[in-house]
A and B are shown apart, each in its own frame.
Chain A
Amino acid sequence: MQRICIGLILFLTIASGRVRVVTATTDLKDITEAIGGDRVTVTSIARGNQDPHYVEVLPSYMLKVKKADLYLMVGMELDLWSDRIIDGSRNRKLRIVDCSKDIERLEVPTRKVDASLGDIHRFGNPHYWLDPVNGKVLARTITEALVEADPEGRAVFEANLAEFERQVDERLAHWLEEYASLKDRKIMFYHNSWPYFTRRFGLETVQFLEPKPGVPPSPAHLNRLLDIVQKDTILVVGMESYFSDQTPRFLADRTGAKVIKLAQSVEALPGVDSYLDVFDYNLHALAEALGD
């Protein structure tokens, strides 16, 4: 008990003076830690292997936000649950930042959006962090927010931002060269999480296992997909880590396509511990599955 008390006091002492940040997802957490360094303590609400569309609003999350200085949300209606957590936190001083504010958005609906389209997002596809260039945009948004919360840390945050951008540029150049053979390769995904990723690395998406976003695959849709996989010689079905592989396996068993789990976020799969790991892991997994 004495050890716990000492640990708690030590933790509170160390934590005091730091900017306390709560992020909606692990990707935002990792980038915030990269920018904030020792001047921040960061907690994520969603786990990396969790579907970020559906996070149960737990009172314990409200408690985390109650003590926070800054809340970083994904935005574009991906994390609608953030609103209820923020309200329930009773934190009047909380700064809330929508990290999608400077993102060049893809798949913004051009017609009236309703439930007949499935779980579609009115402001465009919200999985924008899956393009490393957008990771740099996120890092700049997070830097602005941290400077506002802790002006004395500006120099540290800006230096860390420059280092983060350098790392992304370096890795991106490497990925584009190393995985150039992925360009124009056809792939089927479970859910439409990947338009930013495929645009950056030149992959071609051919259909989704979900007939419409958020709608589980039906037998009729699977029959159509069987034809498409065979006709278009799809070699790989990529899926987010939080889906069951039962349906993709059904498809793979009948067509010979390979099923691979991809990391949609930091900590989605073992070994994916940082934002840059997400791309290292996914590109390697795709190249291996496609035989490149």
Chain B
Amino acid sequence: MRKLICIIFINAGLGLAQTTMNPDLSVVGDLIIDDGELTTSGVELAIQGYVNPFARADVFLHKHAGEGAVELEEAYLSIERGLPLGLGLRSGCFRPDLGKINKEHMHTYAFIQAPGAVTAVLGDEMWSGTGLEVDVLLPLPWYSKLSAGGFANGIAHHHHEDGNEGELGEDHEHESEKSQPAYNARWSHFVDLTPVAHLEMGVSHFIGTADEGVRRLTGVDFKFRWRPDRYRSLTWQGEYFLVEADEPEPAHAVYTFANLQFSQVWNWGVVLDYHSDIEEETHYSAGVFLGYSPVEESSVFRLAVTGVDQGGEREVMVIGQIIWSLGPHKPHRF
């Protein structure tokens, strides 16, 4: 492990000392104030760049606080302009095209924690598979993308020993279930409603084989975005998953959030989620969040108040987060 860390830092140092041909290096870290305790979700190192004129590579490493191991979140090659027929390809270890939130890293959320409905379906760390995914832009008047992939591993479910799913800063999780192999497909559409308002909609499907049998997810998602100027924006996003396994009844998971940016530096919003019959518990939560970004996205202060009903047990959580990023400033992808 020490060797790996040394290699990373040596390469990072060499990268800084060399030329502009080197990949972009970025680091994201945070501080979390949860129930009066100070902790962190760790540090993420991103190494990104072009491999050649047709392909780029993206590597994301995550060092969780208190854990010895550096986790490989994603490491993949993507070919976007090198293939015929408008095809695109991703290969390696990456977050497959399954709904909206699965591809988003936690520090890009408007809120702090992933909704419980999402972690119940996709796992605490979301689904990152090792495999191959192909997509194609369909010849339609609007942007329409069809993607499909095959992976050696499916969705891994992590459980914390204290039973608190998804609690940030915990380091004693273990993998209880791992399905393999797995396949995904998604068909998404993006339309401009006006020059400043846009709607994205998608339908996804996942099928994975586990020891317990076949597990299927079918999801629909949407994202509405309105951004008339640099001081105001509204994002409304939601996803629904139908989970079918060998249990007698299918389970349902749904979340939605709205995030309103009301000045250059302030935003607030609400997030709601619900899931039933997943892991034998019904879960509801409702929360509000506030964000402050004094200088672009390089540092963000967040506060979230969330009420949770987990199988009849209710609690209110207040979490604060200071998140920072170091490295090349790149616009966020929509």
The chain A residues found within 8 Å of chain B, CB to CB, are 47, 51, 54-60, 62-63, 66, 80-81, 84, 86-92, 94, 115, 119, 214-216, 242-244
* Interchain CB contact under 8 A, B334 and A216: no
Interface members, chain B 119-150 (any A CB < 8 Å): 137, 142-143, 145
In whole angstroms, what is the CA distance A232 to B295 when docked?
A: 29
A88, A115, A215: which contacts B80 (Cβ < 8 A)?
Answer: A88
A54, A59, A94, A244: which contacts B331 (Cβ < 8 A)?
Answer: A54
A60, A89, A119, A216: which contacts B294 (Cβ < 8 A)?
Answer: A216
B236 at the binding interface (Cβ < 8 Å): no
B230 at the binding interface (Cβ < 8 Å): yes
A interface: dominant SS: loop
In whole angstroms, what is the CA distance A86 to B50 when docked?
A: 13
In whole angstroms, what is the CA distance A214 to B83 when docked?
A: 38
Given A47-B195, A214-B296, A216-B264, also A57-B81 (CB < 8 A)? no
The chain B residues found within 8 Å of chain A, CB to CB, are 56, 80-84, 86-88, 137, 142-143, 145, 190-192, 195, 198, 200, 225, 227, 229-231, 264-265, 294-296, 298, 326, 329-334
A215 contact set on B, CB distance < 8 A: 295
Shortest Cβ distance from A64 into B: residue = B143
B87, B198, B265, B334: which contacts A90 (Cβ < 8 A)?
Answer: B87
Shortest Cβ distance from B86 into A: residue = A90
* Interchain CB contact under 8 A, A60 and B88: no
A57 contact set on B, CB distance < 8 A: 331-334
Known contacts A60-B191, A216-B295; 14 further A-B pairs (Cβ under 8 A): A51-B230, A56-B332, A56-B334, A57-B333, A58-B192, A58-B334, A59-B145, A80-B329, A87-B56, A115-B329, A214-B295, A216-B264, A242-B229, A243-B230
A51, A55, A60, A92: which contacts B190 (Cβ < 8 A)?
Answer: A60
B329 contact set on A, CB distance < 8 A: 80, 115, 119
- A selection of 5 A-B contacts at a CB cut-off of 8 Å is A54-B230, A62-B137, A80-B329, A80-B330, A92-B83
Shortest Cβ distance from B329 into A: residue = A119
A58 contact set on B, CB distance < 8 A: 190, 192, 198, 334
Given A57-B333, A57-B334, A215-B295, also A63-B142 (CB < 8 A)? yes
* Interchain CB contact under 8 A, B137 and A242: no
* Interchain CB contact under 8 A, B190 and A59: yes
* Interchain CB contact under 8 A, A84 and B331: yes
Given A88-B80, A214-B295, A244-B231, also A60-B331 (CB < 8 A)? no
